[in-house]
Structure 1
Amino acid sequence: MNSTGPAANDGLHLLPFRGLRYDAHRVGSLAAVTSPPYDVVVRPDGLHHLESADPHNIVRLILPQAATNGARHRQAAQTLDSWLAEGVLAPDPEPALYVYEQRKGDLLQRGLIGALELSAPAEGVVLPHEDVMPHVVEDRAALMRTTTANLEPLLLTYRGNGTATGATAVMERTVLRAPLLATTTEDGFSHRLWAVTEPADIAEIADDLAHHQALIADGHHRWATYLRLREEHPEPGPWNYGLVLLVDTARYPLQVRAIHRLLNHLPVTDALSALGHHFRIRTLEEGTTLPAAMDVLASAASEGNAFLLTGGDGRFHLIDRPDPDLVARTVPADRPESWRTLDATVLHATLLDRIWNIPDTPEHIAYIHDTAAAVTQAARRGGTAVLMHPVREDVVRDLARQGVTMPRKSTSFGPKPATGLVLRSLTLD
């Protein structure tokens, strides 16, 4: 998004808040209590790993384990209350915006964490690009209601002018100071956090962001949850704000990756046989590594729709060149060409809905960000992993500007913020 979108003062309104943060003296390490966003944790392996990393790992709040949904949410609230009472989590002394930095090798990502106003203008200023699943929104809403907290920020991007002015200037001055916290997680990313509390700095940020729109890069379900909870609490108050990380991608470009599908009950042999003459099928040479197979997929995807299938047979099967007549019959014609030709569109409309007849429910389809994990779980479960090639960021932005949403879980922007470095309690606002 750019500064020519909304008029001045009709753009983004990011407010300071009193962040809840872990007391480093009461946990094993800050790295051990963090987690990826809730929907990136590969269950159950990833969940168990995080739970065992530290008894206070944030996953016990964002993905609590109990027999029923209500019990899970109550357990999260009770855990949060006990950690606050014990001083494991404590509020910062004054409201702040937070500069958050992630670094790994040559990759440097910086952004601002704050409470974003959700009043009516925000619904035209913050642009989604993916559909959401109602049951996930309901689950996240129930968790937020019960804990009275935003447990993890969603990731928003905007397009500045590429120079160190406005919000970016404040961030780049701030990082010259000692951080509130610094840690390195097991994925090799270093994380640093600073508080911005000076009124002049906060005003400079506000003046800049008021001219910008934002694209939801990660967290569509949490955004839909924020809007639902705001509707439930129409009076002015803390429910009119939601926790976000806002990144200027003109200054700090994000990476865009694919999200893969795991078809739990469809063996790969059945998936291939059902294709008939509707797709070209090429089985890669036995022993082909995952990186080499993904290179083959990238090459095929540059020429049209293409997918990699793998499962219990341990082989990679490239399927591409879908029958144009079948695609024309199955893909809705009332959308832009750039939407109708998306791999995710063809996958859902042509393959899942028509050829394989698979409902888009958690029982049948799992969405997995990690490519190797998708392959491993498909082999373990006897299902089929459908590996995807990422969508270009300019396509995502163009569709969002047109108000056209992509099929759910079409993209994965990153690096994603680590969950657990700063939380927002609505009782403190």
Structure 2
Amino acid sequence: MAIIKPFKAIRPAEDKASFVATRSYEEYSKDELKSVLKYNPFSFLHILNPGFKFHKNISGKERFRLVHNRYLEFLEDNVFLKDNEPCFYLYQISKGRFKTLGFFCACSVVDYENDVIRKHEDTIQRREKLFADYLDTVGFNAEPVLMTYADNSTISALLGTEASKSPVYNFTTTDKYNHQLWKIGDSSTIKQLQKAFEEMDALYIADGHHRSASSHLLAEKKKTKNDEHTGHEAYNYFMAYLIPETAIKIYEFNRMVKDLNGLSKEEFLIALDELFRIEKKDDGLYKPTQKHHFSMYLDGEFFSLYLRKKVYKITDALSELDTQILYKTILEPILGIHDLRNDKRISYGYGKHNVIQMKDAIDSGNFAVGFSLVPTSMDEIKAIADAGLVMPPKSTYIEPKLRSGLAIYEF
């Protein structure tokens, strides 16, 4: 039984939505960030980068306090307005053939505790605490956790009806993506959506494991300080964006390693031969097309690696995952990469042109070898989450990537 709640969002004034909405902070280059901050006074980046006002880099708790202050200024200047009634917020992103339709809601930390909201990634405790402290200071959540649910005809019909109405926002950003947002405030529609989700066994986190973990940590902290805690307080929920499983787009992360761990090319290939059938590819760029097959670029040549399944034993959903297979057969035992998250010898890349970029990085001498995989599937993510297992880092690059600042959850 999954709990979803409508909430009174803090949203941009209609005439300013296109100026407020931003990509994730980490996606901006230093020069691009400086330009946006200089020429767009309504950008949500001003809230996230409050030191710009003082021409100073500010970090830590001082930055958290100033983020809160910039947020208050946006409210005082009516850049942000607060809705009077709790709503769900339908949000569609589209470009060419790409289109995804989901909605913002509040999800329960109790569901997170009870594994109704299921995870497939590990979180780092230090980052959990840092973001929980941030949320506690600023008092709002502007980046939703991206979660998926099993495709459901009732939900699809309800959302389709709402999407046929005139949107509150309708604008196109400079990357040519169109953004539309609708308020779902009708009590009957809200109840029907809630009932449909109550009948679901689970929701799955696609992106935002640290955000959800931090929200849970914050709720625990506030609960212990509140003698009149009821479980209905705003801090018992966090903002999520829910979309059906079929709307998720999953891309692979390639791996590049700086050296062969002291092995010559020939010694490395002989070591690989124990677990893989190796074939050299002479027809240009090569990408794998099925599970348990890998592309390798080494010394100016592409190779296909076919897993010898009689040698490698698959025992559970994790051991069947290509990123885990690569780790357990090559990266750890042969190349000596034990810590996939922190080892400086390994790097990751994603995107449809990444095989070319991987080749260029190796040809330039920055790396010695690279591996390309097929994308992880949604079924694999669910199998890992259902079994309570954890994927290796950088197993998935997931879209849609949402704009920040269109809907904000206060607690």
Assess, with a 3 A threshold, how the Cα gap between structure 1 residues 144 and 180 changes in structure 2: closer, same or farther.
same
Q: Which string of whole-angstrom CA distances, capped at 9 and with x for unpartnered residues, describes residues 77-104 of structure 1? A: 3322322222222222322111111222
In structure 1, the residue matched to 2:7 is 17
Question: How far apart, CA to CA, are the structure 2 residues paired with 1:199 and 1:382?
Answer: 58
User: Relative to structure 2, which stretch is displaced further, 82-91 or 14-23?
Assistant: 82-91
Q: Which string of whole-angstrom CA distances, capped at 9 and with x for unpartnered residues, describes residues 7-26 of structure 1? A: xxxx222111121222254x
In structure 1, the residue matched to 2:408 is 423
Shift of 1:248: 2.5
1:101-120 matches, cutoff 5 A = 101-120=92-111
Shift of 1:242: 0.5
% identity of equivalent residues: 21
Q: Which string of whole-angstrom CA distances, capped at 9 and with x for unpartnered residues, describes residues 127-157 of structure 1? A: 1122223343333323222211111111111
Question: How far apart, CA to CA, are the structure 1 residues paired with 2:99 and 2:396?
Answer: 21
Shift of 1:199: 1.4
In structure 1, the residue matched to 2:399 is 414
| Residues 150 and 244 in structure 2, CA contact (< 8 A), matched pair in contact too | yes
In structure 2, the residue matched to 1:3 is none
| Residues 305 and 342 in structure 1, CA contact (< 8 A), matched pair in contact too | no
In structure 1, the residue matched to 2:40 is 54
Which one of the candidate residues 243, 253, 272 is aligned to 1:259?
Answer: 253
Shift of 1:115: 0.9
1:70 paired with 2:61, answer yes
| Residues 112 and 118 in structure 2, CA contact (< 8 A), matched pair in contact too | no
Assess, with a 3 A threshold, how the Cα gap between structure 1 residues 373 and 160 changes in structure 2: closer, same or farther.
closer
In structure 2, the residue matched to 1:133 is 124
1:77-226 matches, cutoff 5 A = 77-120=68-111, 123-161=114-152, 163=153, 165=154, 167-212=155-200, 213-226=202-215
Counterpart amino acid of residue 224 in structure 1 = A
In structure 2, the residue matched to 1:397 is 382
| Residues 141 and 228 in structure 1, CA contact (< 8 A), matched pair in contact too | yes
1:304 paired with 2:303, answer no
Question: Secondary structure of the equivalent of 1:131?
Answer: coil
Assess, with a 3 A threshold, how the Cα gap between structure 1 residues 357 and 109 changes in structure 2: closer, same or farther.
closer
| Residues 340 and 392 in structure 2, CA contact (< 8 A), matched pair in contact too | no
Question: How far apart, CA to CA, are the structure 2 residues paired with 1:42 and 1:282?
Answer: 40
Shift of 1:407: 1.7
Counterpart amino acid of residue 95 in structure 1 = P
1:25-64 matches, cutoff 5 A = 25=15, 27=16, 30-37=17-24, 41=27, 44=30, 51=37, 54-61=40-47
Counterpart amino acid of residue 297 in structure 1 = K
Assess, with a 3 A threshold, how the Cα gap between structure 1 residues 278 and 423 changes in structure 2: closer, same or farther.
farther
Question: How far apart, CA to CA, are the structure 1 residues paired with 2:77 and 2:141?
Answer: 20
Shift of 1:208: 1.0
| Residues 130 and 410 in structure 1, CA contact (< 8 A), matched pair in contact too | no
Shift of 1:340: 1.2
| Residues 260 and 369 in structure 1, CA contact (< 8 A), matched pair in contact too | yes
Assess, with a 3 A threshold, how the Cα gap between structure 1 residues 106 and 179 changes in structure 2: closer, same or farther.
same
Counterpart amino acid of residue 40 in structure 2 = D
For the aligned residue pairs, the C-alpha RMSD in angstroms reads 3.7
Counterpart amino acid of residue 305 in structure 2 = D
Question: How far apart, CA to CA, are the structure 2 residues paired with 1:64 and 1:139?
Answer: 18
Counterpart amino acid of residue 409 in structure 2 = R
